A and B are shown apart, each in its own frame.
Chain A
Amino acid sequence: MAKKILVVDDEPDIRESVKMILTKNGYNVITADNGDQCLQKAKQENPDLILLDIMMPGTPVSEVVKQIKNIKIAFMSVVRISDARKRGLTSQENIVDFFQKPFNVSDLIDRVELILNED
């Protein structure tokens, strides 16, 4: 069964690009464009992985993350990982990876594969 990934980013071009990449590599992709939608879709669809942008309008990402504890989350961010760590965003157990934007396509695929094959 194809793994399901939820891609959350407020920029449509990034959402579409990441969706394209993942779909081409055999994943089932759903999208959301802000924190609230992310929580909604996470509950509805129960994805295997959430790719989450850090800087989005609306509910802050830290709040969103606190409410999702049982699904793997990987951040996608322009912000550097050290800054994210300083903001306390990386302390939860289900946060498994950090993609610095702009990311490398093959790198994204490899790491997503690794994350999802860990079960």
Chain B
Amino acid sequence: MDEDKYNISKIIFSKINRKLTLLFIIVAVIAPSFAIYYFYNLSITLSENMTPQTTLLLQTITASIIILIALDAGVIGFLVSKSISKPIKKLYTATKKLEEGDYNIKVDIKTGDEIQRLAEAFNKTTAALSRLEEERKELDTAKTDFLSITSHELRSPMTPMKAQLQMMQEGYFGKLTKKQKESLIIITRNADRLDKIIVDFLEISRIEAARLKFNFKEIDPADTVKETVKFMDGFAKEKNIKLKVDLDDLPKIEADPDRISQVIRNLINNAIKFSENKSKIEISAILNDDYIQFSVKDYGCGLTHENQIRIFEPFYQVESSQRRRHGGTGLGLAICRGIIESQKGKIWVESREDKGSKFTFTIPLKPVKKIEPIKILFSRRGLIERKIKEEFKTVLGPLGVNEFEELKKQNSIDKNDLLEYIDYLTNKHIITDERGNYFKNHISLIYGDKKGVINEKRDTSENVFQGEVVKRN
């Protein structure tokens, strides 16, 4: 923490130096002057009769005066240094608060010197930051307002379009040739697909604006899970798939049952899509200290490494023949992630090709009532990765890019993974300690603060699949 040691010698505030100098002059010169004068007078009157008592008296007085001067200097010195360090400390505390994102900080320093001017400049800066933040929020609101209005407009044409298509297909306008029927089927299918995408897009814009209506109430999460599973049983039966439920003893929590149900339904839906006939899907819930961990595990075709990394991206869909049959918009998991993360939970997948996949999400036991806006369509993750890549290039040169790509493939680009990696580099003397620290500082800066994301240590102790377990959020 080199920033903590502020170097007084570097502070060249002439006014403060003048203050200090003046006061110490008072202490160091004037006070002793009085003492000397007193002694002078005393010595004149006492020069004739120096008895032992008088000598003792003289010595005591001398001692007292010296102590008094020392105390005096000490007190004044302390007060003066306080007058410097106190406002500097105020500025420091305010800067820390700024780091945390509180732009409404104002520093009140009235020392009448350069430090006060510094404080005034600081206040002007925070005011400007606060204004920028306001503007950004307004822009965001305008964007999402625009989205919801246009979404309604986007959905309206669907109704007459689909109605006319259906009428044609049902022979309202006469008999159709085989080719005409086929053509209509294709058109209808894509009209449906478009409609679904619009609906999902609306949902995402609501999530991003944090205008998702969460209805928090006291629920028994076990009931929610069981009801959802019962609802999905019908679909599962179509492929002869068994849905098995295994729940810990779960306490009642305050949560939105519809949203939890929505996420579970989406996960089960995906599991059914990617499972073979006659297989099984296991739904479980584990109670942890701060959260409940729900999982949906299937024994289907699993996900490739690439898919695991990208599957929560909006519009990303796994390439497979099964997917083509079932359609889908590619937004389901992105929406799930938005729902879970806006409640400060986490969602991730573990998978092995040909063995199956396990999707897990957490719900905090203490409900997070203040829903924050979450970026789904333009995620911070992409931005962070780009910044890290740049940093690698800066510190390690062109080879740095390859290193980064390797680490990304191994899924080790989280903050702690990178810090460990940098330590490894410095230990093997591949880079100097100094470079290593610089590197580490910059990586920490890029990752900034991850406020409120609970359970960062994911449960890697349970190896769901043997061999290589790849976890990806």
| Bound form: Cα–Cα A103–B152 in Å | 16
Contacts of B161 in A (CB 8 A): 102
CB pair B167 A14 closer than 8 Å? no
Q: Closest CB-CB distance, A2 to chain B, in whole Å? A: 18
Q: Which of B167, B170, B195 contacts A17 (CB 8 A)?
A: B167
CB pair A21 B163 closer than 8 Å? yes
Contacts of A104 in B (CB 8 A): 166
How many residues of chain A get a CB closer than 8 Å to chain B's CBs? 17
CB pair A21 B156 closer than 8 Å? no
CB pair B167 A11 closer than 8 Å? no
CB pair A24 B172 closer than 8 Å? yes
Contacts of B166 in A (CB 8 A): 104-106
A residues 1-49 in Cβ contact with B at 8 Å: 11, 13-14, 16-18, 20-21, 24
Q: Closest CB-CB distance, A115 to chain B, in whole Å? A: 19
Q: Which of B160, B162, B172, B195 contacts A11 (CB 8 A)?
A: B160
Contacts of A105 in B (CB 8 A): 163, 166-167, 170
| Bound form: Cα–Cα A21–B162 in Å | 12
Q: Closest CB-CB distance, A117 to chain B, in whole Å? A: 21
Contacts of A102 in B (CB 8 A): 158-159, 161-163, 195
Chain A at the B interface: SS class = helix
| Bound form: Cα–Cα A21–B163 in Å | 9
Q: Which of A14, A24, A55, A106 contacts B160 (CB 8 A)?
A: A14
Known interface pairs A102-B158, A106-B170. Does A17 touch B164 (Cβ–Cβ under 8 Å)? yes
Asked if B155 lies at the interface with its beta carbon under 8 angstroms from chain A, I say yes
Query: Footprint of A on B, CB under 8 Å?
Result: 152, 155-164, 166-167, 170, 172, 195
Query: Footprint of B on A, CB under 8 Å?
Result: 11, 13-14, 16-18, 20-21, 24, 55, 78, 101-106
Closest 7 A/B residue pairs (Cβ)? A13-B160, A105-B166, A17-B163, A102-B159, A102-B162, A101-B159, A102-B158
Interface contacts beyond A24-B172, A101-B156, A102-B159: sample of 8 additional A-B pairs, CB < 8 Å, sorted by A = A11-B159, A11-B160, A13-B157, A14-B159, A78-B155, A78-B159, A101-B158, A105-B166
